[in-house]
Amino acid sequence: MASLPEGDPAPATGELPDSAAVDAQLRSMHAYVHIPFCRVRCGYCDFNTYTATELRGVTPSSFLDDLSLELELAKRVVRSAGLPERELSTVFFGGGTPTQLRAEELVNVLAKLRDGFGIAAGAEVTTEANPDNVDARYLQTLAAGGFTRVSIGMQSAVPEVLAILDRSHDRANVELAVHAAKDAGLQASVDLIYGAPGESIDQWKRSLDAALALGADHISAYSLIVEPGTKLARQIRSGELPEPNEDEQVEKYEIADAAFSAADFEWYEVSNWSRGASSRSAHNLAYWKSNDWWGFGPGAHSHIGGTRWWNVKHPATYAQKLLAGQSPALAREVLDERTRLFERVLLEVRISDGVSIDVVKALNPNASQPISQAIADGLVDAVEAIRGNLTLTLKGRLLADALVRDLLG
């Protein structure tokens, strides 16, 4: 499972440095809630999630009590840090599989966040969902309880690819879940993965067609990452499965972008497309624009005004810390100005609004040369660059990481 960064020790009280409150009125506040449960683990996934036998006595009910303790801690910490009162602009339940909990339980956690922080009018409230464990009643309960959006792990529409990915759902479950979400008045997003070992171009096109036929408002398409330590990594090492083909990954991205554009979806982040600006994920945009969020739950990351911290990973350790009256944070980093600017470039260059050239030049006063080169190479939009912004072209989206290295020298 992916390890966490090292960082500095985090205070047991959870308290924040004074710097966290500086200019806080200019940033919005958000909440992420990590639900660390999955019925089975998919072969490719190294998210911080646990199946029933790995939970060392933690149950959904004890976990919900632990979350409530972290919520009380968050209220105390935010109040004593001198932060202004800010209602939550978005809430996102991720995992793991949040829909392993009952819909009423998710609604109850949301109600506690509403009591504790307030939820802004028109806030986006999303949960990730596994197509296997949601139905019409489940989604109606979420909608009635204040959820506005559901993000469904579709991954592929092709049975052979779903089998290689170790997924337990089939295409019909996804259709039912998206249609039930729309009927309940929820926005629906689907996640796709491209580049599973052996996936052909034709199979990928079939998944794209199927995703577009669903009538979803938003699609995320992720290139498969072979995470060390996963069953998939072992299957590739032993020769049981072929390595993903990197050239084909590029081709699959281009095919996806063309298919989405033809269906009136626009890209707004390298891996994300939406039907118009109102269907973008406001929560993910808040991360990419370095706003403030509290990440509740084991392994969750938080960021407030340049202080970043992350919780202990195992739900049992998370419970022990909170029951002992301590913050569940494992470690933290207080970012200096330069690192904050660096992160802005890294994140903002990947969104369609782009990153301001002023920010790039604050880090690298000699950036004019690599910027001219990026325009000449067709990586960034020339007209936007004249307006002072670097926004990626299709070619630039495929080479975003290399471009950042060149820009920052």
Ligand X SMILES: C[S@@+](CC[C@H](N)C(=O)[O-])C[C@H]1O[C@@H](n2cnc3c(N)ncnc32)[C@H](O)[C@@H]1O
Residue of the chain from 28, 89, 90, 97 that contacts ligand SF4 (CB under 6 A) = 97
Residue of the chain from 153, 298, 306, 370 that contacts ligand X (CB under 6 A) = 153
Residue nearest to ligand X (CB): 153
Distance between CA atoms of 397 and 272, rounded to whole angstroms? 11
| Cα angle, residue 233 at apex, residues 238 and 309 outer, rounded to 5° | 155
- Asked if 191 is part of the footprint of ligand X (rule: CB under 6 A), the reply reads yes
- Asked if 49 is part of the footprint of ligand SF4 (rule: CB under 6 A), the reply reads yes
Is residue 109 classed as helix, strand or coil in its secondary structure? helix
Q: Which does 94 bind (CB under 5 to 8 A by kind): ligand SF4, ligand X, none?
A: ligand X
Q: Residue 187 class from Cβ within 10 Å (0-12 exposed, 13-18 middle, 19+ buried)?
A: buried
Of residues 30-89, which lie at the interface with ligand X (CB under 6 A)? Answer: 44-45, 47
Distance between CA atoms of 307 and 205, rounded to whole angstroms? 42
- Asked if 342 is part of the footprint of ligand X (rule: CB under 6 A), the reply reads no
Q: Which does 24 bind (CB under 5 to 8 A by kind): ligand SF4, ligand X, none?
A: none
CB 217 within 8 A of CB 188: yes
DSSP class per residue in 327-378 = --EEEEEE--HHHHHHHHHHHHTTBTT-EEHHHHHHH-TTTHHHHHHHHHTT
- Asked if 318 is part of the footprint of ligand X (rule: CB under 6 A), the reply reads no
- Asked if 195 is part of the footprint of ligand SF4 (rule: CB under 6 A), the reply reads no
**Residues facing residue 304 across a β-bridge:** 307
Of residues 130-149, which lie at the interface with ligand SF4 (CB under 6 A)? Answer: 130
Residues 6+ apart with CB under 8 A from 17: 307, 334
CB of 227 to ligand X, least distance (A): 5
Q: Which does 41 bind (CB under 5 to 8 A by kind): ligand SF4, ligand X, none?
A: ligand SF4
- Asked if 36 is part of the footprint of ligand SF4 (rule: CB under 6 A), the reply reads no
- Asked if 42 is part of the footprint of ligand SF4 (rule: CB under 6 A), the reply reads yes
Applying CB under 6 A, the span of 41-49, 182-190, 238-246, 341-349 interacting with ligand SF4 comes to 41-49
Binding residues for ligand SF4, rule: CB under 6 A, are 38, 41-42, 45, 47, 49, 95-97, 130, 153
